[in-house]
Each structure stands twice: as structure tokens, then as C-alpha cells.
Amino acid sequence: MATRITVLKKKEFKNPILLTGLPGIGLVGKICVDYLLKQFKHEIIAVIISDAFPPSVHTQNALIQPIQDEIVYCKIKDQDFLFLAGPVQPHLDVRFGGSMEHYEFAESILVTVKKMGVKQIFTLAGINIGEQRLTVEPKVIVSATNQKLVNQFKKDGAFTAKHDGLISGAAGLLLGLGKEQGIEGACLMGETNPSLVYGDHGAAKKVLELLSKHFDWKVNMQAIDKESQGIEKAFTQLAKQLEEQHQHSDKPGPDGLTYVR
């Protein structure tokens, strides 16, 4: 089967822009896209299933549904947007799948959205800054297919990474493969920590603020403000506890290590 995309409703779009937010580090991209879809009127125009997804089904109210991603249409301020949303993408751990699945998944999406007229893609993701996330306000890091887009997002408040790196999964491959096919785009990455398996709303908030400025959106940030404040407060308390433990500890832990659960 590989990846199968079923278009539910054919529409004519005017210069549509694709925004993607599948699960990844800190769930930053997924939180962003899910939040935006709660803000704007939308309709699902395609569903995506793949044998690279987990071998499971979703149950709700005793009914079984396949695990699937979706392509969702929104019209915001006279601009057509498509959102790639959903609970899953091919697994990055090579023990659970190969790299070919990622390329096939990304290429299948590109084939579909190109037919819809997409010429710009913006992927939303997280970037690991480790324990720094406990003590610093997250920034948004941008990488793009051309310098013009880098400069535009820097003007909006994004930063560029201090070191070269990799962007894994759909967030990177859609841009890399798309660039070869004449599609431009950028990845906006909120600084986060991979241990935040339930999501980093603080990092997602920063990405949403940047997007809102770039596209001149009016987004009600009240709900994500509340979530992010809770996370930042917890980080502050944890950092304080770690500092106190460090100052008052006479003995290191086993093998000289300290542990936090």
C-alpha cells in the first residue's frame, strides 16, 4: 500500500500555501497546527494512510477508524492555506522502519499538493536545546530553501541556528524534495527539549506568534498563553530545585551522576 492519499473534495485554489505540523520533538508543530485549526473555519479535503504508520487503529465511541493524517483547507484573509495535520508520521527510529518510507511519504504528499497548486511550504517543528529550555525563553529558529525567506522570517523575529544541523522527518524532507521540484519554503522550529513528550506549548506559542506576524493573522492566544505559563512556571521551579540540590549535595550520585524523574 505504501502511502495512499484520498482526495475527498476537489476544489480550485488560488496560490495555496501548505503549513505542516505532524508530531515531532516537543510536539511543537502539531500543537501549532491543531491550535490554528481551532481558530479558523476549515474543511478536510484529503486523508492520508500509510503502512509506515503504527500497526494500530483508533477507537472512539466503540467505533474503529484507521490512523490517518489529513490535508485541511482554510481561507484566511483571502489567502488559501492547506494544513497537513494528524497524529502520526513514519517513525524516525530505524528499528521501526527505514528511510525509504520517509521519502515515499513526503513524495506522495508533494505529488498531491502540487496538483492543488502549492508553490510554498512552511513546516513547523521543534529544535532540541537540551536543559537550556529550563532556564531560557524559547526562540524560533528558521531554515529555508532560499536566503530571501530566511531574511523575511528574521525580520519577523526568527533567528538562525549557530551551528549546522539536520531537520528530520516530513518537516525536512518536504522542503528538501520540494526545492528540487521548484517549491520554496522554510522550517520554523521552536526551541524545546525532547523530554517534553506531552508537548511544549511555550515553544509552540513562539512559533504561532511569528506566523501571526508574518501572515498578519489575528489569533486568540488566550488558551495557549495559559498552557505556556504553566510550563514556564514548572521549568522555573525545577531549575531552582536542581540548583538547590547542586549547592547542598555533599556526595554525587552513583558513578558521579545525578538523576531527575
Q: Domain containing 109: what range?
A: 3-221
Mean pLDDT of the region 231-259: 56
What's the pLDDT score for residue 227?
Answer: 80
Q: Which amino acid is at 65?
A: Q
36 inside domain = yes
What's the pLDDT score for residue 219?
Answer: 92
106 inside domain = yes
What's the pLDDT score for residue 176?
Answer: 98
What's the pLDDT score for residue 92?
Answer: 73
What's the pLDDT score for residue 128?
Answer: 95
What's the pLDDT score for residue 257?
Answer: 32
User: How many structural domains does the chain have?
Assistant: 1
The residue that leads in pLDDT, 48 or 256, is 48
Q: What are the grid coordinates assigned to 17, written together?
A: 500555501
What's the pLDDT score for residue 166?
Answer: 93
253 inside domain = no
pLDDT in tens, 117-151: 999 999 999 999 988 888 889 999 999 999 999 99
Residue 228: pLDDT band (50, 70, 90) is confident
130 inside domain = yes
- CATH number of the domain to which 149 belongs: 3.40.50.10900
pLDDT in tens, 67-79: 999 999 999 999 9
247 inside domain = no
87 inside domain = yes
pLDDT in tens, 159-210: 999 889 999 999 999 999 999 999 999 999 999 998 888 899 999 999 999 9
Average pLDDT, the chain: 89
55 inside domain = yes
67 inside domain = yes
